[in-house]
Amino acid sequence: MAEPIKAGPIKAGPLGAGPAATPGAVLAPGGKPRVGQWLAVYTLGRLAIAAALIALLWVLGLPGTPGFLFGVLLAMPVAYLVLAPVRTRLTTALVARAEQKERLRTELRGAEPQ
């Protein structure tokens, strides 16, 4: 009889460990995180997906308010799937900004970083 497979601890990589985690993707040339850029891309992407779905539903014959509401409802899962790479880069930029702020606070206090 075969022995059971022993699973070791699962090591999680850094947030956004895929291609989106490249430093150039989230950091501006000055070393500051590009939070504003990725937030704008994500927001405009969600609005564009919602507008496209609403227009598609109106063209297909679902008129007025029901078409609008159903389009907004459909836009949520579609945007979740389509904009996953952008959301990952935005999250990575937010984490980088938080780490940078904490590092600056530690330097201002004069304490040694851990």
**Residue 83 forms part of a structural domain:** yes
Residue 36's H or E segment, with its range, is helix 35-59
Single pTM value for the model: 0.66
Dump pLDDT digits (tens) for 33-51. 788 999 999 999 999 999 9
d(CA 16, CA 89) in angstroms, rounded, equals 7
Number of domains present in the structure of the chain: 1
pLDDT at 21 over 50: no
Structural domain range at position 37:
32-109
Q: Are the C-beta atoms of 62 and 74 separated by less than 8 Å?
A: no
pLDDT band at 110; cut points 50, 70, 90: confident
- Beta carbons of 37 and 29 less than 8 angstroms apart: no
Q: Give domain status of residue 101, yes or no.
A: yes
Residue 36 in tokens? 């504003």
Map tokens 């606070």 to a residue.
Answer: 105
Is 43 contained in some domain? yes
Residue 91 binned pLDDT confidence (cut-offs 50, 70, 90)? very high
